Amino acid sequence: MIPENFQVDVDGIPMSGLVSSVPDPRAVVVAWHGGASRPDYFDAPGHSRHSLMQVGASLGFSVIAPHRPGYGSSREMLGERIDPDRQVALSYGVVDSALQGLDRGAGCFLVGHSQGCVLALRMAVDPRGSDLLGIEMAGTGIRHNRRSDAVRRLGTSDVEQAAGLLRELLWQPAGLYPQQEPVSSRAPAYDGEDALAWPAEFARSAPNVSVPVRISLGDHESWWQSGEPGLVGMSSLFTASVRTEVDEQIGSGHNVSLGNAALAYHLKVLAFVEECVLSRQSAGRNEKLLEDSHG
């Protein structure tokens, strides 16, 4: 299924994105793109088998990938700085508006990539977050990769050098990615501010997440601390979550949804979503049995 563009009004703000809706879905996957990116990140232009939106729909999940606030059609009205509470309110609003009249199945599951993990975590700790099926966080961390020469040089480089170093950190090794159309976009200023505060916010917010959490890093992740130290360092903070799972995606760099291993990654994420659906259905049956026994 080819994703469709949508635009909705959320409190007077035009919000846009992509949606692949299916009849009678198992659940809805809500995917939040990273910094300086677009919803197309989750559709892998030119590589349909790498598309989370198309693979998800083929397996019975509706998938929606909105522009984060300050991107897409909302950029002009929202400007460069959007406080965290408004980001969350607008994001829940765009999901509700885009899915109006559509079946949500067992509920909504959030997928965040890189800077999109900031929004996913904020939505999960919001009071409405307890209704989520769970969250997936990929390409993020709480400590940068100190072994990376590019990370060390980034802090002392000029603008042109920094751009080259970021490309190296986020898009290398080049052999892990097919040739593809760009999915880039200018980032609003708040993204940079949120990025600086992210490690502290992560540590402060993670213990307040109650829903299942899955965390993924590519085995060639260069920007964040990777491997077991990076994954366990993050997962150990989710002390209230009913379930945490970590995964190192083989053959993948920072942009796990655009690389040659994207299909493998997406299938594992969707398997986790399916398990969350089964858990919710089981809990619902148990509640009904309990009610019937008392009736």
pLDDT digits (tens, 9 = 90+) for 144-173: 886 655 555 655 555 456 667 778 889 999
Determine the residue type at 12. G
Q: How many domains does the chain have?
A: 1
Q: What is the CATH number of the domain that holds 282?
A: 3.40.50.1820
Closest by CA to 68, choosing from 109, 1, 10, is: 10
Q: In whole angstroms, how far apart are CA 232 and each of 27, 44, 140, 245, 266?
A: 28, 29, 13, 9, 21
pLDDT digits (tens, 9 = 90+) for 228-242: 999 999 999 999 999
Determine the residue type at 117. C
Output the pLDDT for position 161.
63
What ranges make up the beta strands (E) of 4-107? 4-10, 13-20, 28-32, 62-66
pLDDT digits (tens, 9 = 90+) for 72-109: 999 999 999 999 999 999 999 999 999 999 999 999 99
Output the pLDDT for position 277.
98
Determine if the pTM surpasses 0.85: yes
**Given phi > 0 = left and psi -120 to 50 = alpha, else beta, which region is 251?**
left
Q: Could you give phi then psi for residue 10, rounded to 5 degrees?
A: -125, 105
Task: Please give the residue range of the domain that contains residue 206.
Answer: 4-294
Locate 148 and state its tokens: 């990376």
Rounded average pLDDT over 209-214: 99
At residue 218, the 3 state secondary structure works out as strand
Per-residue confidence at 126, pLDDT binned at 50, 70, 90? very high
CA 191/CA 220 separation, integer angstroms: 24
Whether the pLDDT of residue 117 is over 80: the answer is yes
Determine the residue type at 182. P
Per-residue confidence at 5, pLDDT binned at 50, 70, 90? very high
